[in-house]
Amino acid sequence: MALSFKFGTVGAPISNPKKPGGSIGAVHHIKALGLGALELGWVQSVRVSEETCALIKRAVKETGVLLSIHAPYYINLNADLNEWPNSRKRLMDAVYYGNLAGATEIIFHPGGYGGKTAKEVLPLAINRLADCVGEARRSKNKVTFRPETMGKSGQLGKFEDTLEMAKAIEGVVPCIDFSHIHARAGDGTMNSYAEWTQILEKYEKALGKPALENLSCHLSGIEYSPKGERNHVIMSESDFKLEELFKALHEAGCKGRILSESPNLEEDAVMYQKTWKKISGEKD
Report the nearest approach of Zn ion to the CB of residue 180 (Å).
Answer: 8
* Residue (88 or 109) nearer to Zn ion, CB: 109
- Of 69 and 270, nearer to Zn ion (C-beta) is 69
Q: How far is the CB of 138 from Zn ion (least distance, A)?
A: 27
User: Comparing C-alpha atoms, which of 155, 123, 151, 135 is closest to residue 238?
Assistant: 151
Contacts of 21 (CB under 8 A, 6+ apart): none
By beta-carbon proximity to Zn ion, the closer residue of 87 and 252 is 87
Give the helix/strand (H/E) hosting 246. helix 242-251
Cβ nearer to Zn ion, comparing 25 with 41: 41
Q: How many residues bind Zn ion (CB under 5 A)?
A: 1
How far apart, in whole angstroms, are the C-alpha atoms of residue 274 and residue 4? Answer: 13
Least separation in angstroms between residue 15's CB and Zn ion is 22
Q: Which is nearer to Zn ion, 148 or 267 (by Cβ)?
A: 148
**Does the CA dihedral 138-217-162-221 come out positive or negative?**
negative
Residues 141-200 that bind Zn ion (CB under 5 A): 148
Q: Which is nearer to Zn ion, 79 or 107 (CB)?
A: 107
DSSP reduced 3-state for 233: strand
User: Is the torsion defined by CA of 192, 197, 200, 206 positive or negative?
Assistant: negative
Pairing status of strand 66-70 against strand 105-108: parallel
One-letter amino acid of 270: V
Which is nearer to Zn ion, 148 or 161 (by Cβ)?
A: 148
Give Cβ neighbours of residue 240 (< 8 Å, ≥ 6 apart): 178, 179, 182, 191, 221, 222
- Cβ 20 to Zn ion shortest distance, Å: 26
Least distance (Å) from Zn ion to the CB of residue 54?
Answer: 26
Tell me the C-alpha to C-alpha distance, in Å, between residue 162 and each of 105, 129, 279: 15, 12, 28
Q: Which of residues 133-152 bind Zn ion (CB under 5 A)?
A: 148
According to DSSP, the residues that pair with 224 across neighbouring strands are: 229
DSSP character for 172?
A: B
| Shortest reach from residue 106's CB to Zn ion, in Å | 12
If the CB atoms of residues 128 and 146 are measured against Zn ion, the closer one turns out to be: 146
Q: Residues 6 or more apart from 282 whose CB is under 8 A from it?
A: 1, 3, 4, 276
User: Smallest distance, Å, CB 198 to Zn ion?
Assistant: 23
- 70, 23 in Cβ contact below 8 A? no
For the CB of residue 73, give the shortest distance to Zn ion in the complex, in Å.
Answer: 7
Which residue lies nearest Zn ion, judged by its C-beta? 148
Per-residue binding letters, 19-48, with Zn ion (x by CB under 5 A): ------------------------------
Could you list the residues that contact Zn ion (CB under 5 A)?
148
